[in-house]
Amino acid sequence: MSSHTRSRTVLISGASIAGPALAYWLDRHGFDVTLVEKAPRLRGGGYPVDIRGTAMDVVDRMGLVPRLRKAHVDTRRLSFVDDAGATIAAVAPAELTAGVTEDDLEIPRGELADGLYELIRDRVEILFSDSIASLTEHPGHVDVLLRSGARRSVDLVVGADGLHSHTRGLVLGPEEQYHHYIGYCFAGFTLPARADLSREAVVWNAPGRAAVLYATAPGAPVHGFLAFRRDEPPFAAFRDPAAQRDLVADTFAGDPWEVRGLLAAMREADDLFFDVVSQIRLPAWHRGRVALVGDAAHAPSFLSGQGSSLALVGAYVLAGELATRPDHTAAFTAYEAALRGFVRSNQDYATTGGAALLPRTAEELARRNEALTNPVPARPAGADRALTTTVELPDYPGAR
C-alpha cells in the first residue's frame, strides 16, 4: 500500500465490470471509495464475455479465478444454420476468435459482475438508484451532487458508466464527437433453458442480420441475440425500451428458422440489453480530476470480444498509478500511456473482425458459407495472441 494514498477519496459512476474492478483495486491500495449505480441493483444478464490474456492476470491477482472457472462456459461448437435449421458448418469458437487459448475464460456477464461485486460489497460505499447530477471541480477536490440530492466532496471522480457514459458527457462533451458507429445494432436477452442445446451457439444469417441462440451450461438459461445492420445509429431508441423492441421486431419480421420464437422471448424478457455496435475513441481519457475507465473511455465494441478484458486491465492500471504517483495528473497520464496501444490494436481489430457473424450482403454471406464449409486452416500459434497480451501488468506495491 502506498503512503500517498491513505486519505484519498474517489467516487466512481457505474457498477458493471470496470467500476467494481476499479473500486476493488482502489480499496486495496487504501483509498476511500464510493460507487454510484443508476440501476436499483446490480444488473444481471448479458451475453457471455471473454477474459483473456493480460486480463486473466488481473482476475488472478484478485483471487477470482477459482470462482470464475466454475462459471466458465467452455463453448464447444458454433453452428451456422440455414433457413430450415440444417447445419451449414460447425466450427470450434477459437477458429473465429482472435487470440483465445485454453487458459482464457468465457463468463456470463452477469456472473462476472456478481463476482466483482462480492469482493467489494462490504468494503466500499455503494449507492444504487442514483447517479451524478453535477460535478464542480475546485483546486483540491470535486463537489458531486447526486440526483437523489446527496452530496459528496471527493478528491477524484471516475466514470465507469459504459459506452454512453454520462460522466464523460459532463466533462468532455456530447457523445456524438467520440462515437464511431460500426453499422450494427444488437439486442441480447435470456430465454428458458433448452434440453437440446448446451455449451454451443447456433447462428442463422440473412444479409445484414444474425439471430443467435447461445447456450451455456446444461439446464442454464439460453442467451438470445439479434443483430442487424443499420446505416444510422438509432439514438432516439437508446432511452426507450419499447422503441428498441419495435425496431428489432420490425427488422426481423417474417424471418424463418427460430426467429419468431426469439422475437416473442425478447418481448417477454426483463433483461433486454439493446445497443449499437460502436466504439469510443477519445483524444484523452481524463480532464482535471475526472478520469474514465472501461467502455466509457474506449469501448471497443463486442466485435472485438475484448470489452471486459480492457475494462479489467484498465481498472488495475488506473488504481495502481493513482496509488504510486505523486499526483492525479501524473497518474492519469501514465495510465493512458500504458494502455493506449493495447486499446488501439483491439479497436482496430474489431472494425475488421465480425465478418463471420454478420455478413452484410448476399455475396458476403455466400463467401462466408463457402469459407466455413472448406476445412479451416489452424491459426498460426500465437498470431493473434498479441491482441490480448500486448500490455504487461506493472507490479504495483500491494497488488500482488
* 144-173 footprint of ligand FAD as x/- string (CB under 6 A): ----------------xxxx--x-------
- C-beta closer to ligand FAD: residue 159 or 208: 159
Pairing between β-strand 151-154 and β-strand 156-159 as defined by DSSP bridges: unpaired
Q: Does residue 292 interact with ligand FAD by CB under 6 A?
A: no
Q: Does residue 294 interact with ligand FAD by CB under 6 A?
A: yes
Cα gap 304→288, rounded to integer Å = 30
Q: Closest approach of Cβ 374 to ligand FAD, in Å?
A: 29
Cα gap 255→261, rounded to integer Å = 11
Are 84 and 256 in contact, with CB atoms under 8 Å apart? yes
- C-beta closer to ligand FAD: residue 37 or 106: 37
As a whole number of Å, the CA-based R_g of the chain is: 21
- Nearest residue to ligand FAD, scored by beta-carbon proximity: 294
Q: Does residue 18 interact with ligand FAD by CB under 6 A?
A: yes
Cα gap 4→323, rounded to integer Å = 7
* 25-44 footprint of ligand FAD as x/- string (CB under 6 A): -----------xxxx---x-
| Coil/strand/helix, residue 203 | strand
Residue with cell 480532464: 287
Q: Among residues 251, 308, 347, 388, which is the contact residue for ligand FAD, using CB under 6 A?
A: 308
Cα gap 139→137, rounded to integer Å = 7
Contacting ligand FAD within 177-206 (CB under 6 A): 188
Burial class (CB in 10 A: 0-12, 13-18, 19+), 139: exposed
Q: Closest approach of Cβ 4 to ligand FAD, in Å?
A: 26
Contacting ligand FAD within 49-88 (CB under 6 A): 49
Q: Is the dihedral of CA 301, 302, 303, 306 positive or negative?
A: positive
- Of 125, 100, 120, nearest to 21 by C-alpha is 120
Q: Among residues 29, 109, 152, 229, which is the contact residue for ligand FAD, using CB under 6 A?
A: 109
- C-beta closer to ligand FAD: residue 28 or 109: 109
Q: How many residues bind ligand FAD (CB under 6 A)?
A: 32
Q: Select from 87-95, 200-208, 293-301, 386-394 the region that touches ligand FAD (CB under 6 A).
A: 293-301
For the beta carbon of residue 369, count every other beta carbon within 10 angstroms.
16
Q: Which residues bind ligand FAD (CB under 6 A)?
A: 13-19, 36-39, 43, 45-47, 49, 109, 131, 160-163, 166, 188, 273, 294-296, 302, 307-308, 311
